[in-house]
Each structure stands twice: as structure tokens, then as C-alpha cells.
Amino acid sequence: MQYQKLPFACLLVTVFCLSGQFNAQAKDITLPPDGMQLKASDLPGYFKAQVNCVACHSAEYMAYQPPTAPRAYWDAMVKRMKSVFKAPIDDADMPAIVDYLAKTYGNEQSK
Ligand code: HEC
């Protein structure tokens, strides 16, 4: 009688182990939870950055970049996010995002 429950128990153990494994994999790319928002702006890239740049990490990563960083630095950064981390950023959105970043976090800040 009780052996009939064995397959179910095996299934549970398997699911448990698999989910544990997936969790372990996810941990490699999960960054510490923090809630820093992107700096508000009227630039069109602000909205695009909100869509494309804070899915994996918060705006803290942008805030900690040197304010002297030139446009080319941000351009390389956005491209790196796409090529290295497979960020689903549309190439057409990149110039606007780079523009926003350079003017908001980089050396083109007016304030
Ligand atoms: C697919 C996930 C993902 C998306 C989307 C993403 N990033 Fe990242 N980003 C990462 C990871 C992972 C790191 C950590 C890299 C490291 O620790 O070296 C990172 C790090 C950074 C850093 C810190 C500096 C560095 O080189 O590590 C900056 C700045 C940054 N991202 C900016 C951006 C911008 C701007 C966008 C939008 C264009 C963006 N990220 C979108 C995954 C992503």
C-alpha cells in the first residue's frame, strides 16, 4: 500500500532538487535588492532606460559610474550590457539611452 506513494515522493524530491538547482543558477546573476530609481529627465532616453536598464539591477549601477564618463563610455556600457549580459535592448533605442546616460550621469550633465 505505502509503496504506491513512492513515485510521488520521488517526483517531489526531483522537483525539489531541480528547483534548488535553478535557484543556485539564478543566484549567480541576481544582484542585491536595492531600489534606486533612475534620475528623472525629459529626455526620450529616460523612459527607454527605465524599460531597458533596470530590469537586472537598479539605477545604483549608473549612479556609481564616474560623472566624468564621456558619451563613448556610456555607449560602450550599453553595448556591453547587450553583448555580455544579453540585455534585450533594441539597437534603435541605444542612441537615446546613451544620450540620456551621458547627460544625466556622465560628463554632459548641465547641473
Ligand atoms: C540582462 C541584464 C542586464 C540589463 C538589462 C542591463 N544590465 Fe547593466 N549589468 C548587468 C550585470 C549582470 C552587471 C554586473 C556586471 C559586473 O558585475 O561586472 C551590470 C552592471 C552594470 C553597470 C556597472 C558597471 C559595470 O561595468 O559592471 C552599469 C553602469 C550598467 N550595468 C548599466 C546598464 C545600463 C545603462 C543598462 C541599459 C542600457 C543596463 N545596465 C542593462 C546586467 C544587465
24 lines ligand 1 (CB under 6 A): no
Question: Quick one: pLDDT at residue 35?
Answer: 80
Q: Where are the domains of the chain?
A: 1-30, 44-104
Residue 61 near ligand 1, beta carbon < 6 Å: yes
What is the whole-number distance in angstroms between the Cα of residue 8 and the centre of ligand 1? Answer: 42
Q: Which CATH class is domain 44-104?
A: mainly alpha
Identify the residue whose C-alpha is closest to ligand 1 atom 33. Answer: 53
Question: What pLDDT sits at residue 34?
Answer: 65
Could you report the per-residue pLDDT of 74-94, keeping only the tens digit for each? Answer: 999 999 999 999 999 999 999
More confident residue, 97 or 31: 97
Say if ligand 1 is within 6 A of residue 48 CB: no
Average pLDDT, the chain: 84
Residue 110 is predicted with a pLDDT of: 79
pLDDT of residue 27: 55
Angle at 68 between CA 46 and CA 41, to 5 degrees: 20
Give me the torsion for CA of 14, 16, 20, 23, rounded to 10°: 110
Single pTM value for the model: 0.77
The whole-number pLDDT of residue 30 equals 61
Ligand 1, residues 36, 56, 58: which to mutate, most atoms within 8 A of Cβ?
Answer: 56
Given CA atoms 53, 56, 59, 61 in this order, what sign does their dihedral have?
negative
